[in-house]
Amino acid sequence: MNKTKRKIFETSMKLFADKGYDATSIEEITATVGVAKGTLYYHFSSKEEIFNFLVEEGMKLLKNSISIKTDKMTNSLDKIRAIVLIQIKILFKYENFMTIILSQIWGNDERSKLCKRYVFEYIQMIEKIIKEGIQKKEIVAKDADVMASGIFGFTCSSFIYKMRHEEVDVQQLFSEIDNLFLKKLKA
């Protein structure tokens, strides 16, 4: 991604997170970036395309980070632990991205459907690992869909924890989640 496209991308992400998609205009994006509309339209055909690109790139980063970390692991519970830690790190590092995803998931418009699709695909990744763990008797035999949705949900709740505290030690937060929830998944 070239420098101008990255600047448009990052500025749009911040504005969408701070003000919301609907309240952010193309004019505001171009003014904040310091480029002409033509330059923006050279890189993106519309505000919707910027949004779609943002969601696709962010979810690709999350999924790739998880695949890199878990592909060589054999124990399913260790994979789940790795996923939770990565998700917490991404929540904290890419706060604007996660704000957009979590705020847009609740509607029925096209943006919401896009966000839901990516979140549900991500939860299915977790569910697949849980099912493998159940088959290998590494994870307690319960409803894999409920467990995967719950893991996503309580990991996202660490975002709320972060908002309530000025400084958060990610590793300590992960250890608390591991002790409170993840260790209970062991078969």
Domains for the chain: give ranges and CATH numbers.
1-45 (1.10.10.60), 52-185 (1.10.357.10)
CA 18 distance to own-chain centroid: 17
pLDDT of 91 reads 87
Q: What is the 3-state secondary structure (H, E, C) of the chain?
A: CCHHHHHHHHHHHHHHHHHCCCCCCHHHHHHHHCCCHHHHHHHCCCHHHHHHHHHHHHHHHHHHHHHHHHCCCCCHHHHHHHHHHHHHHHHHHCHHHHHHHHHHCCCCCHHHHHHHHHHHHHHHHHHHHHHHHHHCCCECCCCHHHHHHHHHHHHHHHHHHHHHCCCCCHHHHHHHHHHHCHHHHEC
* pLDDT per position as a tens digit, 11-66: 999 999 999 999 999 999 999 999 999 999 999 999 999 999 999 988 988 889 99
Residue 74 dihedral angles phi and psi, to the nearest 5° = -110, -30
107 pLDDT exceeds 90? no
pLDDT of 93 reads 87
pLDDT of 166 reads 83
pLDDT of 75 reads 96
* pLDDT per position as a tens digit, 164-177: 988 899 999 999 99
How far apart CA 104 and CA 55 sit, in angstroms, is 10
* pLDDT per position as a tens digit, 121-164: 999 999 999 999 999 999 999 999 999 999 999 898 888 888 89
1 pLDDT exceeds 80? no
